[in-house]
Amino acid sequence: MTELSSKHLLGIKDITADDIQLIFETADNFKEVLNRPIKKVPSLRDITIANIFFENSTRTKLSFELAEKRLSADVINFSSGNSSVKKGETLIDTVNNILSMKVDMVVMRHSSVGAPYFLARNIKANIVNAGDGTHEHPTQALLDAFSIRRKLGDVAGKKVAIIGDILHSRVALSNIFCLQKLGAEVMVCGPITLLPKHIASLGVKVELDVRKALAWCDVANILRIQLERQQIKYFPSLREYTLYYGVNKKMLDALDKEIVIMHPGPINRGVELNSDVADSEHSIILDQVENGVAIRMAVLYLLAGVK
Ligand code: CP
Protein backbone atom coordinates (compact mmCIF):
# COMPACT_ATOMS: atom_id res chain seq x y z
CA MET A 1 0.00 0.00 0.00
CA THR A 2 1.47 3.37 -1.02
CA GLU A 3 -1.52 5.70 -0.73
CA LEU A 4 -3.92 6.65 2.07
CA SER A 5 -7.58 5.67 1.69
CA SER A 6 -8.75 9.27 2.21
CA LYS A 7 -7.70 12.74 0.99
CA HIS A 8 -8.43 14.15 4.49
CA LEU A 9 -7.40 13.21 8.03
CA LEU A 10 -10.53 14.07 9.97
CA GLY A 11 -10.56 11.33 12.60
CA ILE A 12 -8.90 8.00 13.38
CA LYS A 13 -12.37 6.45 13.19
CA ASP A 14 -12.37 7.16 9.42
CA ILE A 15 -9.00 5.59 8.53
CA THR A 16 -7.87 1.97 8.34
CA ALA A 17 -5.18 0.00 10.18
CA ASP A 18 -3.31 -0.13 6.83
CA ASP A 19 -3.44 3.69 6.64
CA ILE A 20 -1.95 3.89 10.14
CA GLN A 21 0.83 1.41 9.28
CA LEU A 22 1.64 3.40 6.12
CA ILE A 23 1.82 6.62 8.17
CA PHE A 24 4.16 4.88 10.68
CA GLU A 25 6.46 3.51 7.96
CA THR A 26 6.62 6.94 6.32
CA ALA A 27 7.26 8.58 9.72
CA ASP A 28 10.15 6.13 10.34
CA ASN A 29 11.77 7.48 7.15
CA PHE A 30 11.15 11.09 8.19
CA LYS A 31 12.67 10.39 11.65
CA GLU A 32 15.83 9.44 9.80
CA VAL A 33 15.66 12.71 7.80
CA LEU A 34 15.20 14.69 11.04
CA ASN A 35 18.42 13.21 12.43
CA ARG A 36 20.49 14.37 9.42
CA PRO A 37 22.56 17.59 9.53
CA ILE A 38 20.24 18.98 6.79
CA LYS A 39 16.75 18.22 8.09
CA LYS A 40 14.81 19.40 5.06
CA VAL A 41 13.43 17.58 2.01
CA PRO A 42 11.80 19.14 -1.08
CA SER A 43 8.72 16.83 -1.03
CA LEU A 44 6.03 19.56 -0.70
CA ARG A 45 7.87 22.35 -2.52
CA ASP A 46 4.85 23.36 -4.62
CA ILE A 47 2.26 22.99 -1.82
CA THR A 48 0.83 25.82 0.29
CA ILE A 49 -0.55 24.91 3.72
CA ALA A 50 -2.71 27.09 5.98
CA ASN A 51 -2.65 26.38 9.71
CA ILE A 52 -5.88 27.83 11.05
CA PHE A 53 -6.29 27.67 14.81
CA PHE A 54 -9.53 28.79 16.46
CA GLU A 55 -8.35 27.38 19.82
CA ASN A 56 -5.10 27.71 21.77
CA SER A 57 -2.23 25.36 21.01
CA THR A 58 1.49 25.13 21.67
CA ARG A 59 2.66 21.64 20.67
CA THR A 60 0.30 20.89 17.76
CA LYS A 61 0.68 24.26 16.06
CA LEU A 62 4.48 24.39 16.34
CA SER A 63 4.79 20.72 15.37
CA PHE A 64 2.67 21.12 12.20
CA GLU A 65 4.53 24.28 11.22
CA LEU A 66 7.91 22.62 11.69
CA ALA A 67 6.75 19.51 9.78
CA GLU A 68 5.54 21.70 6.89
CA LYS A 69 8.81 23.66 6.78
CA ARG A 70 10.89 20.46 6.90
CA LEU A 71 8.91 19.33 3.82
CA SER A 72 9.59 22.68 2.08
CA ALA A 73 5.91 23.67 1.89
CA ASP A 74 4.85 27.34 1.88
CA VAL A 75 3.12 28.00 5.19
CA ILE A 76 0.59 30.60 6.34
CA ASN A 77 -0.66 30.81 9.91
CA PHE A 78 -3.98 32.09 11.17
CA SER A 79 -5.14 32.45 14.77
CA SER A 80 -8.74 33.47 15.36
CA GLY A 81 -7.82 35.65 18.36
CA ASN A 82 -6.43 38.48 16.23
CA SER A 83 -8.52 37.93 13.06
CA SER A 84 -11.76 39.15 11.48
CA VAL A 85 -13.58 36.24 13.20
CA LYS A 86 -13.78 38.78 16.04
CA LYS A 87 -15.82 41.01 13.65
CA GLY A 88 -18.35 38.22 13.03
CA GLU A 89 -16.90 36.46 9.95
CA THR A 90 -18.11 32.85 9.59
CA LEU A 91 -15.88 29.76 9.47
CA ILE A 92 -16.67 29.05 5.81
CA ASP A 93 -16.08 32.71 4.76
CA THR A 94 -12.80 32.77 6.69
CA VAL A 95 -11.59 29.56 5.08
CA ASN A 96 -12.79 30.48 1.57
CA ASN A 97 -10.88 33.75 1.81
CA ILE A 98 -7.75 31.85 2.85
CA LEU A 99 -8.30 29.35 0.02
CA SER A 100 -8.58 32.13 -2.59
CA MET A 101 -4.92 32.67 -1.87
CA LYS A 102 -4.43 29.26 -3.59
CA VAL A 103 -3.97 27.14 -0.50
CA ASP A 104 -3.74 23.35 -1.06
CA MET A 105 -4.13 22.05 2.50
CA VAL A 106 -5.75 23.27 5.67
CA VAL A 107 -4.72 22.16 9.15
CA MET A 108 -7.49 23.25 11.50
CA ARG A 109 -8.14 23.26 15.24
CA HIS A 110 -11.63 24.33 16.31
CA SER A 111 -13.63 24.17 19.54
CA SER A 112 -16.73 22.86 17.71
CA VAL A 113 -17.10 19.10 17.25
CA GLY A 114 -17.33 18.33 13.51
CA ALA A 115 -15.90 21.64 12.23
CA PRO A 116 -13.25 19.91 10.03
CA TYR A 117 -15.92 17.56 8.61
CA PHE A 118 -17.97 20.64 7.65
CA LEU A 119 -14.93 22.13 5.89
CA ALA A 120 -14.16 18.88 4.06
CA ARG A 121 -17.70 18.87 2.61
CA ASN A 122 -17.48 22.47 1.49
CA ILE A 123 -13.98 23.11 0.16
CA LYS A 124 -11.58 21.32 -2.21
CA ALA A 125 -8.35 21.43 -0.15
CA ASN A 126 -7.07 18.49 1.92
CA ILE A 127 -8.19 18.97 5.53
CA VAL A 128 -6.25 17.81 8.59
CA ASN A 129 -8.05 17.90 11.92
CA ALA A 130 -5.73 19.33 14.59
CA GLY A 131 -8.40 18.81 17.28
CA ASP A 132 -12.17 19.45 17.13
CA GLY A 133 -13.70 20.18 20.51
CA THR A 134 -14.09 17.06 22.63
CA HIS A 135 -14.24 14.81 19.55
CA GLU A 136 -10.95 13.75 17.88
CA HIS A 137 -7.27 14.72 17.74
CA PRO A 138 -6.02 12.22 15.16
CA THR A 139 -2.38 13.27 14.83
CA GLN A 140 -2.00 13.15 18.64
CA ALA A 141 -3.25 9.54 18.67
CA LEU A 142 -0.94 8.65 15.78
CA LEU A 143 2.10 10.11 17.50
CA ASP A 144 1.12 8.43 20.79
CA ALA A 145 0.80 4.98 19.18
CA PHE A 146 3.97 5.59 17.12
CA SER A 147 5.82 6.44 20.36
CA ILE A 148 4.60 3.19 21.98
CA ARG A 149 5.72 1.25 18.89
CA ARG A 150 9.18 2.85 19.00
CA LYS A 151 9.54 2.29 22.76
CA LEU A 152 8.08 -1.24 23.05
CA GLY A 153 8.59 -2.59 19.51
CA ASP A 154 4.90 -3.04 18.72
CA VAL A 155 1.45 -1.76 19.72
CA ALA A 156 -0.39 -5.06 19.16
CA GLY A 157 -0.95 -6.96 22.40
CA LYS A 158 0.05 -4.04 24.65
CA LYS A 159 -2.19 -2.92 27.53
CA VAL A 160 -2.74 0.84 27.52
CA ALA A 161 -4.55 2.66 30.33
CA ILE A 162 -5.85 6.16 29.57
CA ILE A 163 -6.23 7.93 32.90
CA GLY A 164 -7.99 11.19 33.72
CA ASP A 165 -10.68 13.39 32.21
CA ILE A 166 -11.95 11.00 29.54
CA LEU A 167 -15.29 12.83 29.20
CA HIS A 168 -13.81 16.02 27.74
CA SER A 169 -10.84 14.48 25.94
CA ARG A 170 -10.47 14.28 22.16
CA VAL A 171 -7.10 12.62 22.79
CA ALA A 172 -8.83 9.76 24.63
CA LEU A 173 -11.30 9.01 21.82
CA SER A 174 -8.69 9.15 19.04
CA ASN A 175 -6.32 7.01 21.14
CA ILE A 176 -9.02 4.40 21.75
CA PHE A 177 -9.74 4.10 17.99
CA CYS A 178 -6.05 4.08 17.03
CA LEU A 179 -4.85 1.61 19.68
CA GLN A 180 -7.71 -0.81 19.02
CA LYS A 181 -7.11 -0.70 15.25
CA LEU A 182 -3.50 -1.65 15.98
CA GLY A 183 -4.47 -4.55 18.27
CA ALA A 184 -3.83 -3.07 21.73
CA GLU A 185 -6.07 -3.58 24.76
CA VAL A 186 -7.39 -0.28 26.14
CA MET A 187 -8.60 0.67 29.61
CA VAL A 188 -10.02 4.03 30.66
CA CYS A 189 -9.70 5.13 34.28
CA GLY A 190 -10.98 8.19 36.13
CA PRO A 191 -13.69 9.42 38.47
CA ILE A 192 -17.10 8.10 37.37
CA THR A 193 -18.22 11.68 36.61
CA LEU A 194 -15.38 12.07 34.08
CA LEU A 195 -16.12 8.83 32.19
CA PRO A 196 -18.70 9.00 29.35
CA LYS A 197 -21.78 6.94 30.28
CA HIS A 198 -21.52 4.49 27.35
CA ILE A 199 -17.72 4.32 27.07
CA ALA A 200 -17.69 0.51 27.61
CA SER A 201 -19.62 0.12 24.32
CA LEU A 202 -16.35 1.09 22.55
CA GLY A 203 -14.84 -2.18 23.80
CA VAL A 204 -12.60 -0.64 26.46
CA LYS A 205 -12.17 -1.82 30.05
CA VAL A 206 -13.39 0.67 32.65
CA GLU A 207 -11.60 1.10 36.00
CA LEU A 208 -12.22 3.62 38.78
CA ASP A 209 -9.14 2.75 40.87
CA VAL A 210 -5.97 4.29 39.44
CA ARG A 211 -3.70 1.86 41.32
CA LYS A 212 -5.47 -1.10 39.69
CA ALA A 213 -5.17 0.60 36.28
CA LEU A 214 -1.43 1.10 36.77
CA ALA A 215 -1.01 -2.52 37.91
CA TRP A 216 -2.86 -3.74 34.76
CA CYS A 217 -1.15 -1.69 32.07
CA ASP A 218 2.12 -1.65 30.13
CA VAL A 219 1.60 2.01 29.24
CA ALA A 220 -0.28 4.73 31.15
CA ASN A 221 -1.35 7.77 29.13
CA ILE A 222 -2.22 10.42 31.71
CA LEU A 223 -4.64 13.17 30.67
CA ARG A 224 -5.15 16.67 32.00
CA ILE A 225 -8.34 17.82 33.70
CA GLN A 226 -9.88 20.10 31.03
CA LEU A 227 -11.30 22.78 33.31
CA GLU A 228 -11.90 25.06 30.31
CA ARG A 229 -14.52 22.59 28.98
CA GLN A 230 -16.25 22.01 32.34
CA GLN A 231 -19.33 24.14 32.94
CA ILE A 232 -20.22 22.27 36.14
CA LYS A 233 -18.18 20.72 38.95
CA TYR A 234 -17.30 17.06 38.26
CA PHE A 235 -15.31 16.55 41.50
CA PRO A 236 -15.04 18.53 44.75
CA SER A 237 -11.59 20.09 44.24
CA LEU A 238 -8.33 19.68 42.30
CA ARG A 239 -6.71 18.74 45.63
CA GLU A 240 -9.12 15.84 46.02
CA TYR A 241 -8.63 14.78 42.37
CA THR A 242 -4.86 14.67 42.94
CA LEU A 243 -5.32 12.69 46.14
CA TYR A 244 -7.27 9.93 44.34
CA TYR A 245 -6.02 10.08 40.73
CA GLY A 246 -2.70 11.98 40.67
CA VAL A 247 0.12 9.67 39.53
CA ASN A 248 3.33 9.87 41.58
CA LYS A 249 6.60 7.94 41.92
CA LYS A 250 5.46 6.11 45.08
CA MET A 251 2.65 4.51 43.07
CA LEU A 252 5.05 3.37 40.33
CA ASP A 253 7.56 2.07 42.90
CA ALA A 254 4.80 -0.10 44.40
CA LEU A 255 4.32 -1.95 41.08
CA ASP A 256 6.15 -5.21 40.40
CA LYS A 257 7.05 -4.06 36.87
CA GLU A 258 8.18 -1.06 34.84
CA ILE A 259 5.50 0.84 32.95
CA VAL A 260 5.78 3.58 30.34
CA ILE A 261 4.28 6.98 31.20
CA MET A 262 2.84 9.23 28.51
CA HIS A 263 1.04 12.58 28.53
CA PRO A 264 -0.15 14.56 25.48
CA GLY A 265 0.53 17.91 27.23
CA PRO A 266 0.04 20.46 28.53
CA ILE A 267 0.82 18.88 31.93
CA ASN A 268 -0.67 20.33 35.08
CA ARG A 269 2.27 19.32 37.26
CA GLY A 270 1.27 18.21 40.72
CA VAL A 271 -2.36 17.66 39.65
CA GLU A 272 -2.71 14.63 37.33
CA LEU A 273 1.04 13.91 37.25
CA ASN A 274 3.89 14.61 39.67
CA SER A 275 7.21 15.94 38.41
CA ASP A 276 8.95 12.89 39.97
CA VAL A 277 7.18 10.81 37.29
CA ALA A 278 6.93 13.33 34.42
CA ASP A 279 10.71 13.85 34.47
CA SER A 280 11.65 10.25 35.31
CA GLU A 281 13.06 7.42 33.19
CA HIS A 282 9.51 6.02 32.95
CA SER A 283 8.36 9.05 30.96
CA ILE A 284 8.43 9.29 27.14
CA ILE A 285 6.58 12.63 27.12
CA LEU A 286 9.29 14.54 25.24
CA ASP A 287 9.75 11.61 22.82
CA GLN A 288 6.05 12.01 22.00
CA VAL A 289 6.66 15.66 21.08
CA GLU A 290 9.71 14.76 18.99
CA ASN A 291 7.85 11.95 17.20
CA GLY A 292 4.97 14.33 16.50
CA VAL A 293 7.00 16.20 13.88
CA ALA A 294 7.80 13.00 11.92
CA ILE A 295 4.18 11.80 12.19
CA ARG A 296 2.84 15.15 10.91
CA MET A 297 5.39 15.17 8.07
CA ALA A 298 4.15 11.69 7.13
CA VAL A 299 0.48 12.69 7.23
CA LEU A 300 0.98 15.83 5.13
CA TYR A 301 3.27 14.08 2.64
CA LEU A 302 0.85 11.17 2.18
CA LEU A 303 -2.29 13.35 1.93
CA ALA A 304 -0.59 15.46 -0.75
CA GLY A 305 -0.18 12.28 -2.81
CA VAL A 306 -3.85 11.17 -2.66
CA LYS A 307 -5.45 11.59 -6.09
N1 CP B 1 -1.25 17.87 22.83
C2 CP B 1 -1.78 19.02 22.38
O3 CP B 1 -2.73 19.05 21.58
O4 CP B 1 -1.18 20.15 22.87
P5 CP B 1 -1.51 21.63 22.41
O6 CP B 1 -2.91 21.95 22.90
O7 CP B 1 -0.47 22.51 23.05
O8 CP B 1 -1.47 21.69 20.91
Q: pLDDT value at position 307? A: 63
| 131 C-alpha to ligand 1 centroid (Å) | 9
For the chain, helix, strand, coil in percent to 5 are 45, 15, 40
219 forms beta bridges with 160, 260
Q: Is the CB of 140 under 6 A from ligand 1?
A: yes
CATH topology of domain 138-285: Rossmann fold (3.40.50)
Three-class SS of residue 262? strand
The CATH number for 12-136+289-304, chosen from 3.40.50.1370, 3.30.1490.100, 3.10.290.10, 3.30.460.10, is 3.40.50.1370
Q: Atom 3 of ligand 1 has which residue's CA nearest to it? A: 60
- What does the alpha-carbon distance between residue 266 and residue 274 come to, in Å, rounded to a whole number? 13
Enter the pTM of the model: 0.95
Residue 269 DSSP class: B
Q: Is the CB of 265 under 6 A from ligand 1?
A: yes
Q: Where are the beta strands (DSSP E) in 54-209?
A: 74-79, 105-110, 126-132, 159-163, 185-189, 205-207
Amino acid type, 47: I
Provide CATH 3.40.50.1370 ranges for the chain.
12-136+289-304, 138-285
| 198 C-alpha to ligand 1 centroid (Å) | 26
Q: Atom 5 of ligand 1 has which residue's CA nearest to it? A: 57
Integer-rounded Cα radius of gyration of the chain:
19
Taking the chain (307 residues) in consecutive chunks of 10 residues, what is each chunk's mean pLDDT? Answer: 93 98 98 97 96 95 98 94 80 87 94 94 94 97 98 98 96 98 98 96 98 98 85 82 96 97 96 97 98 98 89
| 266 C-alpha to ligand 1 centroid (Å) | 6
Q: pLDDT value at position 99? A: 86
| 75 C-alpha to ligand 1 centroid (Å) | 19
Q: Report the candidate in 302, 243, 300 with the shortest Cα–Cα distance to residue 19.
A: 302
Q: pLDDT value at position 84? A: 79
Contacts of residue 298, Cβ cutoff 8 Å, sequence gap at least 6: 23, 24, 26, 27, 29, 30
Instruction: Decide if 298 contacts 92 (C-beta within 8 A).
Output: no
Q: Is the CB of 59 under 6 A from ligand 1?
A: yes
From 53, 55, 59, the mutation candidate for ligand 1 (largest count of ligand atoms within 8 A of CB) is 59
Q: pLDDT value at position 26? A: 98
| 281 C-alpha to ligand 1 centroid (Å) | 22
Annotate 176-219 with DSSP letters as a single string: HHHHHHTT-EEEEES-GGGS-TTGGGGT-EEES-HHHHHHH-SE
Reading phi first (left if > 0) and then psi (alpha if -120 to 50, else beta), residue 163 is in: beta
Q: Is the CB of 114 under 6 A from ligand 1?
A: no
